Amino acid sequence: MRAVVWWFGVAMLVIGAASPGLAADGYTGYPVIEIWKAQRKMELRQGDTVIREFRVVLGRQPHNTKEVQGDQRTPVGRYYISGKRPQSQFHRFLEISYPNVDDAERGYSLGLIDANQWADIFFANVHGQSPDSRTRLGGRVGIHGYGGRPYLPIDWTAGCVAISNEDVEFLYDVTPVGTPVLIHE
């Protein structure tokens, strides 16, 4: 636990030095992606203006938040686009920053990750990078297309958010790395 407290102190110094120009919510000028799992709905917004709404498909276990690798759940929390791949098994892929600091805190308190893994996840989130996906918490969660699949009104992903190929092309083109992604139950 002392290691986590030490890392936290160092991280607060880094955050203070690295982000003097950010708005109070941590983001300036980016659009925002917001997802409501229960409604199977996603919005892309710029300020108060809804640019586009999307119908989404979730992980096979759509209720509750992602806890461990392979649980087939879509995470809940505040994330950001941490990477983009123009080609993937499911057309385009926008990686989200799972696990975030809250996920790491939960994982550490449950003994799923150690202090060094917690610190790696913390610093990846501070620097806007992709967190390590090789811990017991899992990773490589994102927003992607259907690939060659037709739309089915069932949840079929391994924990990602799927939207139509046409929609993911649009989202891929208009959202930079760093775009906030808010996922609600």
pTM score, whole prediction: 0.84
pLDDT of residue 17: 39
For residue 12 the two structure tokens come to 């607060």
Say which amino acid occupies 24.
Answer: A
pLDDT of residue 174: 96
pLDDT per residue rounded down to tens, the chain (185 residues) = 545 544 554 444 444 434 333 344 455 588 999 999 999 999 999 999 999 999 999 999 999 999 999 999 999 999 999 999 998 889 999 999 999 999 999 999 999 999 999 999 999 999 999 999 999 999 999 999 998 888 888 999 999 999 999 999 999 999 999 999 999 99
Which of these, 133, 131, 178, 126, lies nearest to 10 by C-alpha position?
126
Which of these, 151, 149, 97, 103, lies nearest to 124 by C-alpha position?
97
pLDDT of residue 161: 98
Domains of the chain, first to last? 2-184 (2.40.440.10)
Q: Measured between alpha carbons, how far is 9 from 13 in angstroms, rounded to an integer?
A: 7
Q: Which sign does the torsion angle of CA 27, 28, 32, 36 carry?
A: positive
